[in-house]
Amino acid sequence: MPVPVSQMVTVGSYLLRQRLAGVERYPLVLMLEPLYQCNLACAGCGKIQYPKHVLQRRLSVEECLAAVDSCPAPVVSIPGGEPLLHPEIVEIVRGLVQRRKYIYLCTNALLLEEKLHLFEPTKYLSFSVHLDGQEKEHDESVCREGTYAKAVSAIRKALERGFRVTTNTTLFDGADPERTAEFFDQAMEMGIEGMMVSPGYAYEKAPDQEHFLARERTVQLFRRIFAAGRGGRQWRFNQSPLFLEFLTGTRDYECTPWGMPAYSVFGWQKPCYLLQEGYARSYDDLLESTDWSKYGRASGNPACRDCMVHSGFEASSVAEGFSSWKGFAAMVRATLFGPRVPAPGDAPERAVGPAEVDEAPTRGWSSSASSEALRTAFDYRGDVTLTLDDGEKLEGYVSDVRSDSLRLLQKGRDVARILDPARVVHVELSGRDSAIDPRWEAWKERRAAERA
């Protein structure tokens, strides 16, 4: 069974209550990011490119639990950053267990073995270990050798100790269907409870912009993986089988970004876990102040065009399973007999990239204040210097800009400073752009040499 019965009952009854109450937008999984710092720097990750003083920030236990109490999602996923680096992760997990939330603690598992004794096995806690394939593919994906071996060792130890263990896998263009199918078989042999798979999202700030999957290539890749796995009936997934049918093009969904809201050191991320269009101050503010019509495929938003990521579409598939008898029957059928997967066809020639984005302003750029200049400061992944109307200069990271307020995280100050944007007279991108990292330049050169 990929998910305990108690979890299925909890989630199912929650969804039915939402439907019966006629709630239009409700969360399924809260993505709680207590820090952005990580002990890896993966090529496809767009989550860790921040100045050092931002990476050192942590959500407190109280802030985490207050966010959880304000959002009714029955499941809490803890990604990051690497959650095991948080000094109070045990207290955060304990608080969530007391609230009977089902927790997926997403970890690269580098610290799992040494920290395992700090946790108690419970049906509410699952370690969701990041594994992007077999040893060669995973170590390449996370840009560090030895990571796969360490993660697998930690998985075995956690299973021996009676913990729930799942895996989470992100697939990029160039993934080998045969090797991926073998990896899924190996994960089953390890005895993990279930797998979560998703295509990668083309984060604007991720170092590797060439290997994100366009939609049709995503569909063909997943069809080929299931074909290589002889239909994949031997595989257990801890995600909706209808989402797997979505990934293989059997059914289509519009995204429901409110289904997996994300809360981090910046606040409630708008509109989804992937895009950063600003931050709401509370969960209710997120629901009310986000213009949801600007997102999803039907909106024509180019950032959404190729997205098939689980944080946008898994909730859509789960909602379908509880929206009608037809949807329920499809979910039961796919759960019992596996997802329906059409035979693969020809994959289109080209993936998404390289990204076609305008040249962004770089360090040293400056301008008198305007709404565009403040937006540039918000988009920049480094510190900026703002000059106020009284001549005061403030240096820090701009984590949110609205028409009536600007949020600045200053070095050495725990509490964000909220400014009136009208007081800013000059903007300069003064700090290093953390989206540009010399390690990535070396990595890209190595990849180019391998391709040549």
Tokens of 447: 């990849």
Q: Which of 312, 338, 339, 344 binds ligand SF4 (CB under 6 A)?
A: 312
Least Cα distance to 330 among 322, 16, 9, 312 occurs for 322
H or E, element range at 401: strand 393-401
Q: How far apart are CA 3 and CA 281, in angstroms?
A: 33
Q: Looking at beta carbons only, is 81 or 257 nearer to ligand SF4?
A: 257
319 is a site residue for ligand SF4 (CB under 6 A): no
CB of 289 to ligand SF4, least distance (A): 15
Distance CA 415, CA 431 (A): 20
Q: Confirm or reject binding of residue 257 to ligand SF4 (CB under 6 A).
A: yes
Tokens in use for 267? 């606040």
Question: In 302-318, which positions are buried (b, 16+ CB within 10 angstroms) versus exposed (e)?
Answer: ebbebbbbbbbbbbbbb
286 touches ligand SF4 by CB under 6 A: no
- The residue of the chain with the least Cβ separation from ligand SF4 equals 312
Cis previous bond, 79, omega within 30:
no
Nearer to ligand SF4, 55 or 255 (CB): 255
The torsion angles phi and psi of 233, rounded to 5 degrees, stand at -65, -20
271 lines the binding site for ligand SF4 (CB under 6 A): yes
Q: Is 295 in the site for ligand SF4 (CB under 6 A)?
A: yes
Q: Contact region for ligand SF4 (CB under 6 A) — 245-253, 301-309, 319-327, 443-451?
A: 301-309
| 274 touching ligand SF4, by CB under 6 A | yes
CB of 104 to ligand SF4, least distance (A): 18
Question: Would you say 40 and 147 are in contact if contact means Cβ atoms under 8 Å apart?
Answer: yes
Q: Which one of the spans 86-94, 96-104, 303-311, 420-428 is the region binding ligand SF4 (CB under 6 A)?
A: 303-311
Interface segment toward ligand SF4; rule CB under 6 A; list 152-160, 276-284, 306-314, 382-390: 306-314
Name the residue nearer to ligand SF4 (CB basis): 272 or 377: 272
* Stretch of 2-10, 69-77, 300-308, 409-417 contacting ligand SF4, by CB under 6 A: 300-308
Q: Give the nearest distance from C-beta 107 to ligand SF4 in angstroms.
A: 23
Interaction with ligand SF4 in 236-255: which residues (CB under 6 A)? 255
When asked if residue 48 is in the footprint of ligand SF4 (CB under 6 A), the reply is no
CA distances from 84 to 150, 373, 435 (A): 15, 37, 23
- Find the shortest distance in angstroms from Cβ 309 to ligand SF4: 6
Q: CA separation (Å) from 248 to 65, 199, 253?
A: 37, 11, 12
Please state, in angstroms and rounded to a whole number, the distance separating the CA atoms of residues 222 and 239.
Answer: 15
> For the window 373-412, what string marks contact with ligand SF4 as x by the rule CB under 6 A?
----------------------------------------
Burial of 346 by CB count in 10 Å (0-12 exposed, 13-18 middle, 19+ buried)? exposed
Q: In this chain, which stretch among 82-90, 118-126, 269-277, 322-330 interacts with ligand SF4, using CB under 6 A?
A: 269-277
The yes or no reply on residue 280 touching ligand SF4 (CB under 6 A) is no
Q: Does 309 bind ligand SF4 (CB under 6 A)?
A: yes
296 binds ligand SF4 (CB under 6 A): yes
User: Where do we find the tokens 């263990």?
Assistant: 165
Count of residues that interact with ligand SF4, criterion CB under 6 A: 14
User: What is the distance between the alpha carbons of residues 51 and 346, in angstroms, rounded to a whole number?
Assistant: 43
List CB contacts of 226: < 8 A, sequence separation 6 or more.
Answer: 181, 232, 248, 339, 341
Residue type, 156: R
Does 44 bind ligand SF4 (CB under 6 A)? Our answer is: no
Between residues 81 and 296, which has the closer beta carbon with respect to ligand SF4? 296
Q: Between residues 46 and 177, which has the closer beta carbon with respect to ligand SF4?
A: 46
The closest of 30, 159, 160 to 102, measured between CA atoms, is: 30
Q: Which residue in 303, 360, 388, 394 binds ligand SF4 (CB under 6 A)? A: 303
Binds ligand SF4 (CB under 6 A): choice among 92, 125, 158, 275: 275
Of 89 and 262, which CB lies nearer to ligand SF4 in the complex structure?
A: 262
- Using alpha carbons only, give the angle 201, 206, 212 rounded to the nearest 5 degrees: 40
Q: What is the CA radius of gyration of the chain?
A: 22
According to the binding rule CB under 6 A, does residue 31 interact with ligand SF4?
A: no
Considering only the stretches 2-10, 179-187, 267-275, 323-331, report the one whose residues sit in contact with ligand SF4 under the rule CB under 6 A.
267-275
Q: Which residues of 177-202 are buried (b: 16+ CB within 10 A; e: fewer)?
A: beebbebbeebeeeebbbbbbbbbbb
The binding site for ligand SF4 (CB under 6 A) comprises 255, 257, 271-272, 274-275, 295-296, 303-304, 307, 309, 311-312
